Amino acid sequence: MNAKGPSPQKSEVRPPKAEVRSIADLARIAGVSVSTISRALTGKGTLNEKTRERVRALADEHGFRLNVAAQNLRLGRTGAIGVLLPLGHDRGQHLSDPFFSAMLGHLADELAEHGYDLLMSRVLPGRANWLDDFVRSGRTDGVIVIGQSNQGAVLDAVGRHYRNLVVWGAHGTDLPYLTVGTDNVAGGALAAEHLLARGRRRLAFFGNVEAPEFAAREQGFLAALPPDLRAQVEIVPIQLTPESSFAAASAYFAAGNRPDGVFAASDIIGMSIVSAAAEQGIVVPEAMSVVGFDDILLARIATPPLTTVRQDIAEGARRLVALLLQRIAGADVASVLLEPRLVERGSS
Amino acid sequence: MNAKGPSPQKSEVRPPKAEVRSIADLARIAGVSVSTISRALTGKGTLNEKTRERVRALADEHGFRLNVAAQNLRLGRTGAIGVLLPLGHDRGQHLSDPFFSAMLGHLADELAEHGYDLLMSRVLPGRANWLDDFVRSGRTDGVIVIGQSNQGAVLDAVGRHYRNLVVWGAHGTDLPYLTVGTDNVAGGALAAEHLLARGRRRLAFFGNVEAPEFAAREQGFLAALPPDLRAQVEIVPIQLTPESSFAAASAYFAAGNRPDGVFAASDIIGMSIVSAAAEQGIVVPEAMSVVGFDDILLARIATPPLTTVRQDIAEGARRLVALLLQRIAGADVASVLLEPRLVERGSS
DNA sequence: CTGTTAGCGCGTTCAC
DNA sequence: GTGAACGCGCTAACAG
């Protein structure tokens, strides 16, 4: 709300009636006690139905609403969930990445449905205790971290003593925090099998293996190949932003490399590869098959439409929120692993 | 923070030392008063430098941080800014739209830099008073609305009595709220001039004119054409999501329409058009020039790279935040109109 | 330079 | 069925 009291504030939600800034004000006007107001407006406790109606009508008339901050302070909660985007391995990624923004949108919907606000924060993990600081500031009742990035150590440390933490990312054995994520190893295998089925033999993997999600995709990809092919796969380290992945792909093709099958660790990378290849006269899918990962909405309208390993973002968001809220309620819950699915389109 | 007191909560940030949950606890341990703690930790007021250091060290040692909620309650502020995404004209748009997510990311950065949290909320304007409700709930010190959508009436009504409101969107004369936005009329004109310069004469505009931003782009586009061409421009109403814009574009070309120059109201629409055209054997840019709007990061890696009217999102976010914070501080400020710029790439 | 104290706006016993 | 009083954790006078 606006600053109160002795501030230079001139702007206020100015209802037609007198200023009602607290339940005390309303109590005075209504001729009842503050606790009656509280009971009427929260619906908690027992109260004569007529009194309740009268108070509510009066509150409406004055445009009065309970102050959520004070309410939360009193209740020892904040009513908000923090959603953090660590940008450890790749500055500028994430929110420029359609995958993360889609996730964010679904999280917002899901949290709103459960009466929670979504407090968003991008983090450039300069200080090692960025997560600890956030948790300790007490601004939220729980934290969802989108992507492990290269911050595994930080997550481990905080996860050990703070339980209301759920992370979107790679599933690990014995992680001290909850995770929800796609089975990246299985996803990598799907890509490998598809490229093999297409008769591709000169294979390459484009991705940043600093982040465990991508490392797992690479691992699953390699494991699903016959040993002779596996040994020849080219691993191309690449950043996740459109600009840098495009630049890296261009350089790669310009250097004369000519794989006939490429697995990209994300759809953005996949689209960059297609675009860079086109510039060098490499025709997709005739001369080269490209498989992405994520199935962002744009994959469908890419030219050609991108074959990709689909992650169910909406389901992921649902599970993240469900798990976290159960944790906050004190329940004992387990991490979730989602199955990926191959979506065949024109790029392969 | 976690629920406190009599909750079933078992998980806590458990520092090595004793539990320190409030400045009172820390005061006891340090052997000083609560106000000394407050002064030491906030840096406000005067305090012996040694005492300050000692208290800070002690706080660190116990992993104690000031409770932001209580702090804000006391200060009569919330420390958060609401960012609302009305989905009036187009469900599912916005967060799936790279433009909006890029904006969101920049807003998050900019707000964080000024010590504010970003409270995000997607709104399906079912109830006419969605904005009023949000404002009155007192959860934030101010509100940024991204896109007017078709909610002009709501914005007008709220803007008249609530001043801490800034809207990204079309600039209008006599709007009762602050706006920051690109000069969409000028942007439309840039697109028109570019297509004319390319020798294109059979022109089309793809966009949803329910939203004032897009209506202004169309208007600027038409106004910059010679009368004879203007009369023949085809206006193709289209939704903004990738799926629906792609479907609409496909249908349009399948019906035999063959414009040689297209102005798309957004880059997503532009990419959809290119993709749909390719499916029908229409080669871009040889047979048809396509100009988008926004210059999202993906425009650069599209195939072919998309010519577009660039909006400076980062600058827009900066101005939105600056204006709002000045308003909150009680300053008198004016709306901002940003100049668009044409970026020529391969699609035209 | 530091301590005491009175609230910020609300929810919740415990009386009546 | 309703009211009085206390306190959530913090800041800012006002004293000393």
Contact between chains at A330 and B7 (C-beta distance less than 8 A) = yes
d(CA A223, CA A115): 44
What is the model's pLDDT at position A14? 40
Tokens of A140: 């939220």
CATH fold match for the domains B80-182+313-336 and B184-310 = yes
Which one of B120, B137, B295 would you mutate to disrupt binding with A, by most A Cβ within 10 Å of its Cβ?
A: B120
pLDDT at A1 (0 to 100): 35
The residues near A204 (Cβ < 8 Å, ≥ 6 apart) are A233, A234, A235, A236, A257, A259, A261, A262, A263
What is the distance, to the nearest Å, from the Cα of residue B32 to the centroid of all Cα atoms in its chain?
A: 46
Per-residue pLDDT tens listing for chain B (348 residues):
333 333 333 333 344 456 899 999 999 999 999 999 999 999 998 999 999 999 999 999 998 999 998 999 899 999 999 999 887 655 544 566 788 888 988 999 899 888 899 999 877 767 778 898 888 888 899 999 998 888 899 999 999 989 999 999 988 888 999 999 999 999 999 999 999 999 999 999 999 888 889 999 999 999 999 999 999 999 999 988 888 899 999 999 999 999 999 999 999 999 999 999 999 999 999 999 999 999 998 899 999 999 999 999 999 999 999 999 999 998 999 999 999 999 999 999
* Closest residue, CA to C1' of D9: B70
Nearest-Cα distance to chain A for B227, in Å, is 34
* Count of other CB atoms within 10 angstroms of residue B109: 18
* Residue A52, CA distances (Å) to A13, A30, A32, A39, A45 in order: 24, 11, 11, 8, 11
Residue type, B213: E
C-alpha distances in Å from residue B135, one per residue of A113, A157, A246, B130, B269: 19, 38, 43, 9, 33
Whole-number Å distance, CA A139 to C1' C3? 29
Q: Kindly list the residues from chain B whose CB atom is less than 8 angstroms away from the CB atom of residue A303.
A: 271, 274-275, 278, 302-303
How far A331 CA sits from the closest chain B CA (Å)? 9
Nucleotides on chain D within 7 angstroms of protein Cβ: 1-5, 7-13
Cβ contact A121 with chain C strand, < 7 A: no
Contacts of residue B152, defined as CB under 8 A and 6 or more positions apart, other chains included, come to: B212
B residues 278..297 contacting A (CB < 8 A): 278, 297
Q: Over the stretch A166-178, which tens digit does the pLDDT of each residue have?
A: 999 988 888 999 9
Contact check, Cβ <8 Å, B117/A121: yes
Residues 14-43 of B with CB under 7 A from strand C: 31-36, 39
Dihedral angle over CA of B18, B19, B23, B27, nearest 10 = -20
Mean pLDDT of A6-33: 68
Task: Break chain A into its structural domains and give their ranges.
Answer: 23-75, 80-182+313-336, 184-310
pLDDT tens-digit series, residues A88-142? 655 544 566 788 888 988 998 899 888 899 999 877 767 778 898 888 888 899 9
Tell whether the model's pLDDT for residue A191 goes beyond 60. yes
Please list, in sequence order, all residues whose beta carbon lies within 8 angstroms of the beta carbon of residue B223, skipping any fewer than 6 positions away: B185, B188, B189, B192, B230
Pick B101's closest partner by Cβ from A73, A95, A330. A95
- Mean pLDDT within A163-190: 94
CB contact under 8 A, B68 and A95: no
> Which residue out of A253, A280, A303, A323 would a mutagenesis test of the B interface target, given it has the greatest number of B Cβ atoms within 10 Å?
A303
Given CB atoms, is B317 within the 8 Å cutoff of chain A?
no
Residue with nearest Cα to nucleotide D6 C1' = A74
What are the structure tokens assigned to A315, written together? 């389901």
Q: How far is the CA of A17 from the C1' of D7 (A)?
A: 32
- Interface probe, candidates B303, B325, B332, chain A, greatest A C-beta count within 10 A: B303
- DSSP code string of A19-60: ---SHHHHHHHHTS-HHHHHHHHH--S---HHHHHHHHHHHH
Cα angle B169-B173-B178, degrees, rounded to a multiple of 5: 50
> What single letter denotes the amino acid at residue A38?
S
* Strand ranges in B50-97 using DSSP code E only, listed in sequence order: 80-86
Pick out the nucleotide with least CA–C1' distance to B33. C3
Q: What angle, 0 to 180 degrees and rounded to 10, lies between the N-to-C axes of helices A23-30 and A49-61? A: 110
Tell me which chain B residues have a C-beta less than 8 angstroms from the C-beta of A94.
105
Distance B38 CA to D11 C1' (A): 8
Percent pLDDT > 70 in chain A is 92
Cβ neighbour number for residue B180 with a 10 Å cutoff = 24
Dihedral sign for Cα atoms in the order A250, A255, A256, A260: negative
The architecture (CATH level 2) of A184-310 comes to 3-Layer(aba) Sandwich (3.40)
In this structure, what are the phi and psi dihedrals at residue B307, rounded to the nearest 5 degrees? -70, 140
Tell me which residue in A67, A242, A301 faces B301 most closely, judged by beta carbons: A242
Overall fold of domain A80-182+313-336: Rossmann fold (3.40.50)
Q: Tell whether the model's pLDDT for residue A325 goes beyond 90.
A: yes
Q: Does B24 touch chain A (CB under 8 A)?
A: no
Would an 8 Å CB–CB cutoff place B247 in contact with chain A?
no
Q: So what's the pLDDT on residue B88?
A: 63
List, in sequence order, every beta strand (DSSP E) within chain A.
Answer: 80-86, 117-123, 142-146, 165-168, 178-182, 203-207, 234-237, 261-264, 289-294, 307-310, 336-338, 341-343
Q: Please choose, from the candidates A143, A1, A142, A137, the residue with its C-alpha nearest in 3D space to the C-alpha of residue A69.
A: A1
Phi-psi region of A323 (alpha: psi -120 to 50; beta: other; left: phi over 0): alpha
How far off is chain B from A306, nearest CA to CA, in Å?
Answer: 11
Instruction: Assess B70–A contact: CB distance below 8 Å, yes or no.
Output: yes
Identify whether B304 is preceded by a cis peptide bond (ω within 30 of 0). yes
Check if residue A45 sits with its Cβ under 7 angstroms from strand C. Answer: yes
A17 touches chain B (CB under 8 A): no
When comparing pLDDT for A38 and B97, which is higher?
A38
- With 0-12 / 13-18 / 19 or more C-beta atoms within 10 angstroms meaning exposed / middle / buried, residue B6 is exposed
Q: Which residues contact B13 (CB under 8 A, 6 or more apart)?
A: A132, A135, A136, A161, A162, B2, B63
CB contact under 8 A, A122 and B141: no
Q: How many CB atoms lie within 10 A of CB A287?
A: 12
Give the closest nucleotide to B47 (alpha carbon vs C1'). C1
Comparing every residue's Cα with the C1' atom of nucleotide C4, the nearest one is B33
B87, B131, B298: which to substitute to probe chain A, counting the most A Cβ within 10 Å? B298
Q: Which positions of strand C lie within 7 Å of protein CB atoms?
A: 1-13
pLDDT single digits (tens) A245-299? 999 999 999 999 999 999 999 999 999 999 999 999 999 999 999 999 999 988 9
Instruction: Please give the Cα distance from A258 to B61 (Å, whole number).
Output: 57
Taking the C1' atom of every nucleotide in all shown strands and the CA of B20, the nearest one is D9
CA B78 to the chain's CA centroid? 21
| E-assigned strand segments in chain B | 80-86, 117-123, 142-146, 165-168, 178-182, 203-207, 234-237, 261-264, 289-294, 307-310, 336-338, 341-343
CA B291 to chain centre: 22
Which chain A residues touch B268 with a CB distance below 8 Å? 298, 301
Measure in Å the smallest separation between the Cα of B15 and chain A Cα atoms: 8
List of residues 6+ apart from A187 with CB closer than 8 A? A217, A220, A293, A309, A311, A340
Q: What is the CATH number of domain A23-75?
A: 1.10.260.40
A250 touches chain B (CB under 8 A): no
**Nearest-neighbour CA in chain B from A185: distance (Å):** 27
What gap in Å lies between CA A268 and CA A242, rounded to an integer?
6
Chain A residues 52-71, Cβ below 7 A from strand C: 66-67, 70-71
- Chains A & B: contacts with CB separation below 8 Å: 230
Among the partner residues B13, B137, B275, nearest to A135 by beta-carbon distance:
B13
State how far residue B72 is from chain A, nearest Cα, in angstroms: 8
Q: Does the beta-carbon distance from B119 to A119 stay under 8 Å?
A: yes
